[in-house]
A = this chain, B = another copy of it.
Amino acid sequence: MVLLFGNEQIMFDCGEAVQRQMILAKISLHKKLHVFITHMHGDHVLGLPGLLQTMALMDRKKPVDVYGPAGLGHFLECLQETLQFQLTFQVNVHEVAASGLVCDEQEYAVSAVPSNHAVTSFSFAFEEKPRPGRFHPEKAAALGVPKGEAWSRLQHGNAVPLSSGRVVKPEDVADPPRKGRKIVYSGDTRPFDGFSVFAENADVVIHEATFDDALVEKAEVDGHSTPSQAALEAKAANAKRLVLTHISARYSDVALILEQAQKVFPNTLVAHDFLELELPLSE
């Protein structure tokens, strides 16, 4: 799953042949990239070496930041040693050990919470930072703020002192800051205490639903969720939308999966390869 955010890419998990899918989806292999690995199972991490090598073949220069559970660094070292590959860029490995902020960028942050799978695993939340409220030029003009740099400072949330001695604050000339968008990615997990708080008010919850409701016991044993369970998590989180993923290959038709979730949480869809969702800016 790749989140295209401005000129940056935020990837959640990295299955085999991801570079091929990216090329088919016309997603650049040269942009700023953060990769978040939920757990060290092959179907979530085995795409990394091929992705990095393909990027090197294309002479990528920008670093790649990879986040994931303990063992991620050793995994990459092992592969680099046994496959003897050289990269043309830096890979920064950030091993995640506990709940909290794992990546803090200018316009967004990503935090983690331990989830409940067969091995150490995390769910991740991408949260866009609040964006400045709508700026009203007529208010700035009326208060005597000179056009130009002072307006720009106010638009970016900074106060501006006038030559009169008065200090004009952003709230004097702009609406309140607008809420950023929030996207939560469960990774492989059973339902767990804390997910709904972690995912609170998310615009999109991307949750696994490996097995259908009839196989709830198998899901429990294997560390997975069912559509109803995923839907209950989305509902408890007061999410706006639920996207189900990681559906077992036994379901050639996902209608049943969708139906079971929609009974609990109507605004659900089942992901498929190359599905694109656009998440409009909040007003």
Contacts and interface: CB of A to CB of B under 8 A. Distances in A.
A43 B56 CA distance: 13
A83 interface: yes
A75 B71 contact: no
Nearest to A45: B83
Nearest to A52: B42
Contacts of A78: 78-79, 81-82
A14 to B, nearest CB: 11
Interface in A31-51: 40-43, 45-47, 49-50
Contacts of A84: 40, 119
How many chain copies does the complex carry? 2
A172 to B, nearest CB: 55
Chain A contact residues: over half helix, strand or loop, or mixed? helix
A71 B80 CA distance: 12
A221 interface: no
| Most chain B beta-carbon neighbours within 10 Å: one of A40, A46, A71 | A46
Most central of A17, A43, A45, A249 by chain B CB within 10 Å: A17
Nearest to A49: B42
Contact of A82 (B74, B83, B249): B74
Contacts of A251: none
Contacts of A15: 17
A255 interface: no
B49 A53 contact: no
A102 to B, nearest CB: 20
A214 interface: no
A177 to B, nearest CB: 43
A42 B50 contact: yes
Contacts of A46: 16, 46, 49-50, 83
30 contacts: A15-B17, A16-B16, A16-B17, A16-B20, A16-B46, A16-B47, A16-B50, A17-B20, A23-B249, A40-B83, A40-B84, A41-B83, A42-B50, A42-B53, A42-B79, A42-B83, A42-B85, A43-B53, A46-B49, A46-B50, A46-B83, A71-B82, A74-B82, A75-B82, A75-B83, A78-B78, A78-B79, A78-B81, A78-B82, A79-B79
Which 3 pairs from chain A and chain B are nearest by CB? A78-B78, A17-B17, A16-B16
